[in-house]
């Protein structure tokens, strides 16, 4: 099975009505710089996953292109389980919502969501680098 069909199958299995696979669009965007026969890269698949995950939750209530607090909470609980479970602050979701909601419309759009993913990814990379340095690599 190639990575393209794997991603499409993952999209189909999710079952959410608004679920779509954005990978073809990503691949189409990249075709200007790569041969048309090339497979999506791991980074393109990761980007597709972020888009899919966001829309899986944003489409549930109200504005389907933005997360309200309930949708954000569900996304955090289901997709960042370990991150949330090690936090004891009962107001954590409210605080994350306030931090992410840059334009103060009480919703988190994709641009605001990506900031959180980027910040967590940077923190994970910092930890990864620290561990490598401890091992002297």
Q: How far apart are CA 13 and CA 120, in angstroms?
A: 27
Query: Closer CB to Ca ion, residue 65 or residue 127?
Result: 65
Cβ atoms within 10 Å, residue 121: 11
CB of 45 to Ca ion, least distance (A): 27
**What residues between 68 and 127 interact with Ca ion by CB under 5 A?**
101, 103, 105, 107
Q: How far apart are CA 128 and CA 84, in angstroms?
A: 20
The count of chain residues that interact with Ca ion, using the rule CB under 5 A, is 4
Query: Closer CB to Ca ion, residue 44 or residue 101?
Result: 101
Q: How far apart are CA 23 and CA 112, in angstroms?
A: 21
Identify the bridge partners of residue 108 per DSSP, sorted by sequence position: 67
CB of 35 to Ca ion, least distance (A): 39
CB of 58 to Ca ion, least distance (A): 12
CB of 55 to Ca ion, least distance (A): 16
Cα 42–chain centre separation: 14
**What residues between 23 and 52 interact with Ca ion by CB under 5 A?**
none
Tokens of 57: 């939750």
Binding site for Ca ion (CB under 5 A): 101, 103, 105, 107
């Amino acid at each position: 099975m190639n990575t393209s069909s794997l991603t499409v199958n993952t999209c189909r299995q999710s079952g959410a009505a608004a679920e779509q696979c954005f990978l073809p669009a990503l691949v189409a965007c990249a075709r200007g710089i790569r041969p048309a026969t090339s497979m999506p890269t791991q980074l393109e698949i990761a980007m597709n996953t972020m888009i899919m995950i966001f829309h899986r939750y944003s489409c549930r209530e109200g504005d389907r292109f933005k997360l309200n607090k309930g949708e954000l909470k569900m996304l955090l609980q289901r997709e960042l389980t370990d991150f949330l479970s090690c936090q004891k602050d009962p107001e954590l979701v409210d605080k994350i919502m306030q931090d992410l909601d840059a334009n103060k419309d009480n919703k988190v759009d994709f641009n605001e969501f990506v900031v959180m993913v980027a910040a967590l990814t940077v923190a994970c990379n910092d930890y990864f680098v620290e561990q490598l340095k401890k091992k002297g690599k």
